[in-house]
Amino acid sequence: MKLVNKKTRIEDLGMVSYKTAWDYQTAIFTKSVNLKLENRRREDRGEHTISTENYLLFCQHPHVYTLGKSGEENHLLLNQTGLEANGVEFFKINRGGDITYHGPGQIVGYPILDLDNFFTDIHKYMRYIEESIILTLSDYGLKAGRVEGLTGVWLDFEPGAKNPRKICAIGVKMSRWVTMHGFAFNVNTDLTYFDHIVPCGINDKAVTSLEKELGEPQDLKEVQNRVKFHLLNLFEMEVESEVKKTININY
């Protein structure tokens, strides 16, 4: 019998290196996938199954560029010397999508969910993540939406708009309906770092931030709480625990 568990552990990791957070995600993700495989064997033996866990991780990263599986390396416009001069790391990673930037002042969210606990629809999952950012922007008086054929959240998004600009990028990995990676929401982000890449492989549209749109820096924690509120409502999550957590590379 499949156990549905919508309880979600919410962890604020603070400022953490990309590699450390990636390793931490991978450990949680792998544990959940392996449990699902073991549960299948338990069912075959007529034994009780064990419910999988759900996590919602929030963090910021020091300056880093990440390239997804379908991305092109020439969309990074800096060589190794340029990366070092700008204090930026670079990783090829196992999510979908092309190249993007993470850095201070950006809210990064990593939902590690077993979608068997919610709904088994990857497109709905992506749209819900987008919707959480769209609703958050609406809280700040900004109208945001989607651009047909492109993931993420955009301002000035209507067909024929003169200046469509992306404020949130999304890239995920999924196996056996378990998700990892997630979204990067530009709040007080230094947008000059996007000048060194072709963001998400799109060279004819701009990138923006909440600070730029509103004309002043925003309270990052307040914005994060609004995103969290909308995610919890959309996915009908039950909060199991909520903590600030420091992790290390040896987790």
List CB contacts of 162: < 8 A, sequence separation 6 or more: 156
pLDDT mean over 90-113: 95
What is the pTM assigned to this prediction?
0.95
DSSP 140: T
Catalogue the E-assigned strands of the chain. Answer: 7-15, 54-60, 64-67, 89-92, 99-102, 106-112, 144-145, 153-155, 165-175, 178-186, 206-207, 238-244
Percent of residues in the chain assigned helix, strand, coil, to nearest 5: 35, 30, 35
Q: Is 168 a catalytic residue?
A: no
pLDDT band at 249 (very low <50, low <70, confident <90, very high): low
Q: How far apart are CA 206 and CA 164, in angstroms?
A: 7
As a whole number, mean pLDDT of residues 182-197 equals 97
DSSP 195-247: GGB-GGG--SSEE--HHHHHTS---HHHHHHHHHHHHHHHHT-EEEEEEE---
Q: How confident is the model at residue 8 (pLDDT cuts 50, 70, 90)?
A: very high
Mean pLDDT to the nearest integer, 99-103:
96
CATH 3.30.930.10: does it fit domain 7-244?
yes
pLDDT in tens, 28-56: 999 999 999 999 898 888 888 999 999 99
Six-digit token string for 189: 């982000």
Is the per-residue pLDDT at 250 higher than 50? Answer: no
Predicted local distance difference test score (pLDDT) of residue 251: 38
- Work out the average pLDDT over 135-152: 96
What value does the mean pLDDT of the chain take?
A: 94
Across residues 4-18, what is the average pLDDT?
97
Domain limits, the chain: 7-244
126, 200, 207, 247: which is the annotated catalytic residue?
200
